[in-house]
């Protein structure tokens, strides 16, 4: 009997099955009422008494071994069936194409990352705002054209509720709720009542920055913007600041960078000037600080703002602003390797 047990043990080790039916056939062959292992248990009564203990242990081990092997085979097929049941058999066998981040998101995140290295944190606010946070706190005169319906979207003809025209409204919230020093970056979508064309849209995206502390100077502003330009467009990028006017800064300036296509030599993109405008900036007007509860005799600050679409155009030479909001997959696929 010991020889028969050894033979069956070797056979069990080599158990294989290609279907659930074959597993059941193995169970019947070895463990059913007429199975080979069951037959050995029936012959156990003929074993001499002095061998019963040893043979009994071997028989029990053989039966357990066969049962474990059959259970393992059965479980493997059940798991395979669950996997198939959870699969979509109508799906194409071709690999699923990977998506990509939107080019505006790529550039916005890059701008945030650059300024975060010099201490700026991100602040966000509502897109539906009141007149005071958008205009009043920022030194806009009551008769300023930005307050006209031709330039601004008002909500339900309410002159005090509107879609923000710039993310400077977030800065208004920050200045009225936090004490200096303040160093924040305000990204977000803004709205203006403009005709949609290849070079203008009724909504677009901005990133604005604000720094308020004691002894902040225009030189600090210039150095921060020079750092940004070199990080965004390359180490050889140069900047220039031209006098300008904004209600909320004084003095104010427009910032140009040397054309990143021709290196400042002049081309069609920069209209042969060698320079491309990218943002507006200036020192925060004392009237703005006082309106927000900050002592302008103690604190000074600078602010700047840029259009994300403008920066994206410079980096990727996108000629039509409408492409950013049309969600054409062919356009978006061009930015797969841009992040």
pLDDT digits (tens, 9 = 90+) for 144-182: 666 565 678 888 777 788 899 999 999 999 999 999 999
**Domain limits, the chain:** 2-85, 103-335
pLDDT (0 to 100) of residue 226: 96
Task: Assess contact for 106 and 339: CB atoms under 8 A.
Answer: yes
pLDDT (0 to 100) of residue 150: 60
**Measured between alpha carbons, how far is 1 from 44 in angstroms, rounded to an integer?**
9
* Kind of pairing between the strands at 128-130 and 121-122: unpaired
Low-confidence ranges of the chain (pLDDT < 50): none
**Phi/psi at 35 (nearest 5 deg)?**
-75, 165
Architecture of domain 103-335: 2-Layer Sandwich (3.30)
List, for residues 233-251, the tens digit of each pLDDT value: 989 899 999 999 999 999 9
pLDDT (0 to 100) of residue 104: 92
Closest CA to 12 of 66, 59, 73, 57: 66
Strands of the chain, DSSP E: 121-122, 128-130, 161-163, 182-191, 203-213, 239-246, 249-258, 275-284, 300-307
What burial class does residue 113 get, using C-beta atoms within 10 Å of its C-beta: 0-12 exposed, 13-18 middle, 19+ buried? exposed
pLDDT (0 to 100) of residue 146: 64
Closest CA to 292 of 209, 126, 201, 172: 172
pLDDT (0 to 100) of residue 331: 85
pLDDT (0 to 100) of residue 30: 80
pLDDT (0 to 100) of residue 288: 94
Strand-pair partners of 122:
185
pLDDT (0 to 100) of residue 210: 96
What burial class does residue 179 get, using C-beta atoms within 10 Å of its C-beta: 0-12 exposed, 13-18 middle, 19+ buried? exposed
């Amino acid at each position: 009997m010991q020889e028969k047990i050894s033979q069956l043990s070797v056979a069990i080790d080599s158990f294989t099955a290609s279907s659930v039916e074959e597993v059941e056939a193995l169970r019947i062959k070895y463990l059913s009422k007429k199975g080979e292992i069951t037959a050995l248990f029936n012959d156990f009564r003929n074993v001499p008494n002095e061998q019963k203990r040893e043979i009994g242990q071997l028989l029990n081990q053989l039966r357990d071994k066969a049962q474990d092997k059959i259970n393992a085979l059965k479980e493997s097929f059940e798991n395979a069936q669950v996997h198939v049941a959870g699969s979509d058999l109508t799906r194409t066998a071709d690999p699923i194409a990977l998506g990509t981040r939107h080019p505006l998101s790529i550039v916005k995140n890059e701008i945030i990352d650059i300024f975060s290295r010099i201490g700026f944190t991100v602040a966000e606010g509502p897109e539906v705002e009141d007149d005071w946070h958008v205009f009043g706190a920022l030194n806009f005169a009551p008769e300023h054209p930005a307050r006209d319906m031709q330039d601004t979207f008002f909500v339900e003809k309410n002159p005090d509720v509107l879609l923000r025209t710039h993310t400077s409204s977030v800065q208004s919230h920050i200045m009225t709720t936090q004490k200096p020093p303040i160093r924040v970056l305000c990204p977000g979508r803004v709205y203006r009542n403009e005709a949609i064309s290849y070079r203008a849209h009724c909504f677009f995206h901005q990133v604005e920055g604000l720094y308020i502390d004691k002894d902040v100077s225009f030189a600090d502003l210039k150095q921060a913007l020079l750092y940004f330009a070199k990080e965004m467009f390359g180490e050889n990028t140069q900047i220039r600041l031209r006098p300008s006017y904004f209600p909320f800064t004084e003095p104010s300036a427009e910032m140009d960078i040397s054309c990143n296509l021709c290196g400042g030599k002049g081309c069609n993109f920069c209209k042969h000037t060698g320079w491309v405008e990218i943002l507006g900036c200036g020192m925060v007007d004392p009237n703005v600080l006082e309106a927000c509860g900050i002592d302008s005799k103690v604190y000074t600050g600078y602010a700047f703002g840029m259009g994300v679409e403008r920066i994206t155009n410079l980096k990727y030479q996108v000629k039509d602003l409408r492409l950013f909001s049309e969600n054409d997959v062919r356009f978006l696929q061009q930015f797969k390797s841009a992040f």
